[in-house]
């Protein structure tokens, strides 16, 4: 199955995607920023993080957001590993996320660092997970400062609708502040908010 980038709603809709959580410090703040702006997002969760924080996974689901499988170990070189390894990374994480959510399965699979293979896409699709890419890397993981994150997203909007942010992997206060600024700006400039195509 091909890697999804498009927005379900088409037009000027954008997909907000949030990777590497859930995190007990930053996920609640990201959820608050999304709620304040009436935006639904897709959370690409690392399996053990979900297992460690089921209350956060349940909060994400309860707020109407969607879940995405982001593997067990976030191995950005998994495209060079065996098929058995790739299968384990995807399916074990999906199970961890599903258990943590109370039975809600992830709808998407995002390979760490975009390390997809034809095999991993097949495994994901067979498990009901649409492979999910991105068009815009906000570079929030580099912590370049809120103005830089803001500028990157605005500059790259012509690239397509799916925007990558992070709520895990360390201090994400820049991400939260950038979302608080960008979400109303996007709406004011005619963008709506969607989920990725399935």
**167 an active-site residue?**
no
Active-site position among 74, 166, 167, 191? 166
- Which residue has tokens 């034809």? 118
Q: Is the dihedral of CA 164, 156, 160, 33 positive or negative?
A: positive
The H or E element containing residue 154 is helix 146-156
- CA 142/CA 163 separation, integer angstroms: 15
The H or E element containing residue 43 is strand 42-45
Helix axes 26-36, 54-62, angle to 10 degrees: 10
**166 an active-site residue?**
yes
Q: Would you give the DSSP letter of residue 2?
A: P
Active-site position among 19, 69, 140, 150? 19
What count of residues does the chain have? 198
The residues annotated with a catalytic role in the active site are 19, 166
């Amino acid at each position: 199955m091909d890697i999804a980038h498009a927005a379900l709603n088409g037009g000027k809709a954008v997909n907000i995607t949030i990777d590497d959580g859930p995190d007990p410090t930053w996920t609640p703040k990201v959820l608050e920023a999304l709620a304040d702006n009436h935006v639904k997002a897709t959370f690409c969760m690392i399996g053990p993080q979900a297992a460690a924080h089921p209350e956060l996974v349940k909060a994400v689901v309860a707020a109407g957001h969607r879940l995405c499988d982001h593997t067990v170990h976030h191995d950005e070189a998994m495209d060079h590993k065996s098929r058995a390894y790739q299968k384990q990374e995807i399916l074990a994480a999906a199970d961890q996320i599903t258990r943590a959510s109370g039975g809600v399965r992830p709808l998407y699979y995002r390979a760490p660092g975009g390390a997809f293979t034809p095999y991993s896409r097949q495994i994901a699709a067979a498990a009901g997970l649409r492979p999910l890419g991105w068009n815009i890397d906000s570079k929030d993981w580099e912590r370049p400062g809120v103005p830089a994150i803001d500028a990157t997203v605005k500059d790259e909007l012509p690239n397509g609708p799916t925007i990558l942010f992070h709520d895990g992997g360390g201090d994400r206060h820049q991400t939260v502040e950038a979302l608080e600024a960008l979400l109303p700006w996007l709406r004011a400039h005619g963008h709506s908010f969607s989920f990725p195509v399935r």
